[in-house]
Amino acid sequence: LLGEAEDMGEVISVSETAASVPAADCSAGCVVTRDFLPIEPDVNEHKYFAPGIGHILSIDLESGETEELIQITYP
């Protein structure tokens, strides 16, 4: 929605291997994106996506606050 939800992202890496969270790691190479909002310049974060799992880590670049995947449950 123009003026309200203008989320944007760019790929930073397709082979990140250093990140690790309790439930997963990037040993197989994660995709890393920078997500931002042009209408809110303070909103800027990196998101890590592990192959076969998906989103495992978010890092707020302003505050340093993180969100980590802590558990995976398979059917």
| 57-71 residue pLDDT tens | 999 999 999 999 999
User: Residue 40 — pLDDT band, cuts 50, 70, 90?
Assistant: confident
Q: Are 26 and 48 in contact (CB under 8 A)?
A: yes
Q: How much helix, strand and coil, in percent to the nearest 5, is found in the chain?
A: 0, 55, 45
Residue 41, pLDDT score: 84
Share of the chain above pLDDT 90, in %: 79
- Tell whether pTM > 0.75: yes
Reply yes or no on whether the pLDDT at 1 is more than 70. Answer: no
